[in-house]
Every structure is written in C-alpha cells, then in structure tokens.
C-alpha cells in the first residue's frame, strides 16, 4: 500500500462508525440498485440509506426491482425503511457518502456534482460509478475539484469484490484513503489506480482477452460455447486463485516470471505477433451474436451470481484462514 | 458437439473399459508427472500405467518426485506398482494410450512418433502434450499420419480440467472422438480445436490479457500485485462461473451480446484502440520481474492447487446438480 508510506495530514475527519453512517445513492439502474443491495447488507439499519432518482413512481419501482438483488439474509420488507428523497438537496444534505450511478453522460455528471457541492456536507465523499468518464472531467464545474473520485465496480457490485478507485489529479489523498478504508472494512477489494486511463484496468484487461476470443471464433477455431468452456476450465478458476502475474511467476519455478519468459517467451511473442485485431463494427458481429444467442438464450444471472458467491466464499475462507495462521 | 452430427464409420474399436486400459507416459518433466498423478487417481490399478524416459535413475527420480503431485486419496506406495520401462518398444507395445510430454523440440517428437509407430498397437491413441508444435509437423515422418493428436493440458493437468484437442488435417475423426470420450468419462473438459493455430486457444487468450497487464504495469497505472488483485476479485471468479461471451451476453440483458455492444461498444473500441503493444525483450522486463519477485518470492503451488481444487469442486457440484435437476 504505497499511500500509507506518506500518510496525508488528517484535515478531513474519518467517516463515522458504521452505525451512524448515512449513504445516499443517486441513480437506480442496475448498478445503482446493486449498490443499494450491497449497502443494505452492510449497514445496521436500512434507514441509513437514501435513494434519489428523477424516475417517475420511484418508490414503487424500487419495491418491485430491488428485491431480486437482495441475498436471502435481507428480508424484502427492509426496503420500506429506505429513505426515498424527492429533491436532490434533501437527498444529499446529511450524507457522509454520495454515490452516483446515473447516465454515462458528462453533461449530466458535471452538472450533478456542481449542484451536489452546494448542498452536501463539506466532508462528504463523492463517488462516481462511471465505467469511463474521468473524475477530472466530471469535476470541471466544481469549486473544490479535490472531492470527486471514480469508484468503479465490477458488475454486479453486490456480488463482486473489486472496486477500482480512479482519482483525478485534483482528488485529495484523504478522499482516496477514506474511500479505501471504507471498502476494506466491508471486506471488499478497492484498488487505487495511479493514472486515469481509458476504460480503467479491469475492463481493459477483459476486453483485450475478449478481442482475441472474438478473433478465434471469427476464424472458426472454436465456437462461442467452446471458447467459454475453455476459459471456465482453465484461466477462470486459475485466476480466481492467483492472478496472471502470480500464476506465471509460479510457472517459472525457481526462476519466477523471468524463468517463465526464458522458457516460453518465444511462444508468447509468437502469439502476440499473431494476435487478432478485430474492430467493433468490422463484420464479425452477426455470427458471434447469433452463436451467443443460440448457446445461452437468456442467461439466469441469479443462478450465476449464486454460484459466484459460493466461489468467492471459498476464496474468502482460504484468505482469512491464511491471515489467521500467519497472525 | 459438431462431430456427432457426422459419426465416423467405426473402423477403430473403442477403448477397453477402464479396468483393462493400459496407458504409457513418455517424459517425466512437470507435465508428464502431473499426467501420471492424474491417471493414478483414475485407473483402478497403478500397474495399468507405464512410464518411460531416458533420464538416469528413473525409478528413484519418480519415487522422489511424483508424491508431491498426488492427492491425499492416493498413497505414495502406489508408485511402486507403476511399470517403469527401460526401452521404448517395451514401453509402448501393449498400451492403448501413449502420451508424450517430452522436450519441446520437433526433431525429438517426429523421431519419437516414427519409432513408436513401429512398435505400438495399431489402434493405440498417440497424444502429444506440446504447447506449440503442431501435430502435422510431429507426424511428418510417420507412415500413418492419421494417428497423432495434440492433447494440450492447462498446467497442471492433475488439477485443471481443460484439454485442448488439436488435430492435424491428417488426424482421423475416430482418434479425436475416442480421445474426447476418454476425457469426458474422466470428468475433464476436452475441447476440439477446428484449426491448428499458433499457441492454440487458451494460451492465446491468456497471453492477450497478460500483454495488456504488462503494458499497464509498465505505464505505472498499477503494480504487479495490484493487477493480480484486480483479476482475482473480478474476472477470475466471474469467468470460472461463466466465460467471457456468456458473461457479456448476460451483461446485455434482453439484448444479449448484441445489446452489450450497443451499450458500451464505444468504450470497448476505445480500449482496443488504446491497447498496449509491448513486445518480449522490449525493456519492460527488469521492473516487472523485480515486482513479481518482491510480491511473491517463491509461490507455494501446492497451496494454490489445493485452493483451486476447492473452487473446481464447487463448480463441479453446481454443474452436476444442474444436470441432475434437468434430467
């Protein structure tokens, strides 16, 4: 944790303890509701959560839609205790954390933050769930640009542990530090990106593999279902346990990652030189979309998320067991 | 399963039942021994397994090295019942399956298969574990080129379910079909690649992601350990449960994969356009290798494999439960 080597001056008070924390969510699409489900499982009382959106009939919509995101441990009746705000000032004025998951539209977000800045507590953390609009752009109309931080989840955030923290050059170290502390205390994995980069890290990595996957299907080497089966029975479970660098470092034996490249760097370079360079809209779409539809129809994401939770539970147990045995 | 639509004429008899099956392994590096461990857990008797290598003191080497690959269910005493052959003809003459995991060297492999062809049963399956030398090249000195098939594991094969079956244009459909049936009966995931392609599929996919990972570390966006943490807490567990196409097909909701690209195809293309193009030997190595060494030292692969088995066990249970409930 490189930040802890240079602890910032404590000019912002720490977040209140969990029982006194107030969180406001803005936007009720799939990401917003998934975050709502997450917070409901972690906050002692649902009345600590406020939701705001311009959507008509918001209360009814939330009552109908949110239950599907809740784990069995949270009764659906909990939802009636969430505070549904009817104006933005009312939504944000008391919150310690304000998390927006609104439209992916710079004009919307920059206007929103400028307005929030007028009404929010001076120390409130301001988080955007955006998957692509940089914090530096979002904060452009604010007086104090040090407050906005991208907190990008891996979908769906009520299941997946990752949060990419992507500050702008203006974001203060304290904002990053308090955000990280919040997510770590919740058992999540917040990773601080040191530079604002197109698509952040997780999507860039996943899309690089996806591009090669599309290329191989487009070339007729395997079909969509076979390609998925390959990933599910090899690098998926492997990388759930040990990321790519750790895996290849292990694969190199005593020589580590250097030994790995000494052994098969030639093959790696041959694969890189031969990598497909498909583009969006270049004509592979029709067949690949057709195969996906034929293979999967409508995916049961509830089932997928249930199994994912079981896998994550094994990984969490192992990690905690290891930390315990090292303590 | 596209092959089953055109069942080949049954000119080759099926493999004998498991209790009568004889398997010969050639080569005792990490892949060869890992396959030995796999077969010992699946064959009724260790005397059904033969191992051959030109390594000096082979029996002692195997007794010392193989136990670390065995799961607790297989006692190390089993090893003494393996038949250690002292000549190639003796090793192969009675085997139904001959699996080579020798040096990654075309001259070695083509000479080996030509020699094996002289001594092996006419119907024996001839498998190569190579990660890169195409079956068409390996079979070049054989009279009957229809018999050799690449059966490429994901390391280590005693743990990981994937086997890439990569025939040459000469390999017969029966050889592919019998090979697939063998691995499916063992609960593994054999995937038939329709074209011989550099690095096959799994490594091409993994190396595409690795390339972007190296680029992001090289750019200073995250370090090696942070990059691994990102993958371990996002696409690793996700892809263990649902491969990339299935995941993005689900992510597109009712629109499926097409809907996904309609929603964020622009971001995908921006990431693709910005993808790093690091090359092996281009100067990123020193710092990346240093970080991997500092982060991980020597990885405990036994621990990694134990946790991977637990993850795979969850996935297997879920898959079988689903098949059961659909039956």
Q: What is the pLDDT of residues B30-88, one digit of tens each?
A: 999 999 999 999 999 999 999 999 999 999 999 999 999 998 888 889 999 999 999 99
Task: Report the pLDDT value the prediction gives residue A13, as an integer from 0 to 100.
Answer: 76
Residue of B nearest to A322 (CA): B303
Task: Report the pLDDT value the prediction gives residue B326, as an integer from 0 to 100.
Answer: 63
Q: What is the pLDDT of residues B286-302, one digit of tens each?
A: 999 999 999 999 999 99
Of chain B, the end-to-end C-alpha distance in Å amounts to 19
Q: Indicate the average pLDDT of chain A.
A: 94
Min CA distance, A93 vs chain B (Å)?
33
* Average confidence (pLDDT) over A44-56: 96
B198 vs A279: CB contact, 8 Å cut-off? Answer: no
CA distance A280 to B178: 39
- What confidence tier does A1 reach under pLDDT thresholds 50, 70, 90? very low
Chain A residues near residue B221 by CB distance under 8 angstroms: 193-195, 197, 201
CATH number of the A23-192 domain: 3.40.50.720
A308 vs B216: CB contact, 8 Å cut-off? Answer: no
Min CA distance, A301 vs chain B (Å)?
7
Q: What are phi and psi of A193, to 5 degrees?
A: -85, 135
Residue among B155, B224, B270 whose CB faces A199 most closely: B270
Min CA distance, A295 vs chain B (Å)?
9
Give me the percent of chain A exceeding a pLDDT of 90. 90
B243 vs A254: CB contact, 8 Å cut-off? Answer: no
CA distance A95 to B62: 65
* Average confidence (pLDDT) over A210-238: 98
Min CA distance, B195 vs chain A (Å)?
5
Residue among B188, B243, B249 whose CB faces A231 most closely: B243
ipTM: 0.95
B233 vs A161: CB contact, 8 Å cut-off? Answer: yes
b/e string for B80-110 if b means 16 or more Cβ within 10 A?
eebbbbeebeebbbebbbbbbbbebeeeebb
Chain B residues near residue A155 by CB distance under 8 angstroms: 251
Task: Report the pLDDT value the prediction gives residue A320, as an integer from 0 to 100.
Answer: 87
Residue of A nearest to B103 (CA): A263
Token pair listed for A201: 């890290």
Task: Report the pLDDT value the prediction gives residue A73, as an integer from 0 to 100.
Answer: 86
Min CA distance, B37 vs chain A (Å)?
18
In this predicted structure, the answer to whether residue A325 has a pLDDT above a threshold of 80 is no
* Average confidence (pLDDT) over B307-316: 96
Domain A201-296 has CATH 1.10.1040.10: yes
Q: Do domains A23-192 and A201-296 have the same CATH topology?
A: no
Residue among A197, A224, A240 whose CB faces B245 most closely: A224
Of B327, B281, B253, the residue nearest A265 (C-alpha): B281
CA distance A226 to B43: 28
Chain B residues near residue A304 by CB distance under 8 angstroms: 241-242, 250
Of chain A, the end-to-end C-alpha distance in Å amounts to 19
Q: What is the pLDDT of residues B115-148, one digit of tens each?
A: 999 999 999 999 999 999 999 999 999 999 999 9
Q: What is the pLDDT of residues A66-92, one digit of tens each?
A: 999 998 888 889 999 999 999 999 999
CA distance A237 to B239: 7
CA distance A146 to A125: 10
Token pair listed for B210: 């690795």
A249 vs B299: CB contact, 8 Å cut-off? Answer: yes
In this predicted structure, the answer to whether residue A16 has a pLDDT above a threshold of 60 is yes
B237 vs A233: CB contact, 8 Å cut-off? Answer: no
This prediction has a pTM of 0.94
Q: What is the pLDDT of residues B193-215, one digit of tens each?
A: 999 999 999 999 999 999 999 99
DSSP string, A10-22: --SPPPPPGGG--
For residue B54, give every residue at least 6 positions away whose Cβ sits within 8 Å of its Cβ, in sequence order, or none.
none
Test mutation, B1, B249, B274, B296, chain A, max A CBs within 10 A: B249
- What confidence tier does B11 reach under pLDDT thresholds 50, 70, 90? low
* Average confidence (pLDDT) over A118-128: 97
B232 vs A243: CB contact, 8 Å cut-off? Answer: yes
Task: Report the pLDDT value the prediction gives residue B327, as an integer from 0 to 100.
Answer: 52
In this predicted structure, the answer to whether residue A2 has a pLDDT above a threshold of 50 is no
Min CA distance, B269 vs chain A (Å)?
6
**CB A187: neighbour CB atoms within 10 A?**
11
In this predicted structure, the answer to whether residue B12 has a pLDDT above a threshold of 90 is no
Chain A residues near residue B279 by CB distance under 8 angstroms: 269, 272
Min CA distance, B92 vs chain A (Å)?
29
Distance of CA B101 to the CA centre of its chain: 11
Of A103, A100, A178, A185, the residue nearest A146 (C-alpha): A178
Q: What is the pLDDT of residues B235-274, one digit of tens each?
A: 999 999 999 999 999 999 899 999 999 999 999 999 999 9
Test mutation, B214, B234, B267, chain A, max A CBs within 10 A: B234
B232 vs A315: CB contact, 8 Å cut-off? Answer: yes
Q: Delimit the domains of chain A by residue range.
A: 23-192, 201-296
Of A12, A4, A205, A177, the residue nearest A165 (C-alpha): A177
CA distance A198 to A10: 31
A258 vs B307: CB contact, 8 Å cut-off? Answer: no
């Amino acid at each position: 944790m490189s930040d802890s080597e240079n602890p910032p001056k404590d000019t912002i008070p720490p977040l209140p303890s969990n029982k006194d924390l107030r969180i406001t969510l803005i936007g009720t699409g799939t990401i917003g509701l998934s975050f709502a489900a997450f917070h409901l499982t972690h906050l002692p009382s649902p009345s600590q959560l406020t939701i705001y959106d311009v959507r008509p009939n918001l209360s009814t919509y939330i009552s109908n839609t949110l239950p599907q995101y809740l784990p069995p441990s949270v009764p659906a009746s909990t939802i009636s205790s969430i505070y549904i705000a009817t104006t933005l000032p009312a939504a944000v004025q008391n919150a310690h954390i304000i998390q927006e998951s609104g439209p992916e539209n710079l004009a919307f977000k920059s206007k929103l933050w400028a307005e929030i800045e007028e009404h929010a507590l001076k120390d409130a953390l301001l988080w955007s769930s955006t998957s692509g609009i940089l914090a530096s752009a979002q904060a452009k109309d604010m007086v104090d640009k040090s407050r906005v931080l991208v907190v990008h989840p891996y979908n769906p955030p009520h299941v997946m542990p990752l949060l990419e923290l992507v500050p702008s050059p203006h974001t203060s170290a304290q904002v990053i530090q308090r955000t990280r502390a919040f997510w770590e205390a919740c058992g999540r994995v917040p990773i601080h990106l040191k530079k604002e980069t197109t698509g952040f890290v997780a999507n860039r990595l996943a899309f690089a593999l996806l591009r090669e996957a599309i290329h191989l299907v487009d070339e007729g080497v395997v079909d969509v279902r076979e390609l998925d089966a390959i990933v599910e029975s090899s690098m998926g479970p492997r990388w759930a346990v040990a990321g790519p660098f750790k895996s290849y470092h292990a694969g190199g034996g005593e020589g580590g990652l250097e030994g790995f490249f000494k052994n098969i760097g030639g093959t790696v370079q041959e694969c890189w030189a031969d990598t497909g360079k498909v583009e969006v809209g270049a004509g592979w779409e029709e067949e690949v979309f057709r195969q996906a539809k034929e293979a999967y129809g409508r995916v049961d994401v509830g089932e997928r998320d249930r199994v994912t939770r079981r896998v994550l539970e094994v990984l969490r147990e192992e990690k905690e067991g290891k930390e315990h045995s090292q303590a």
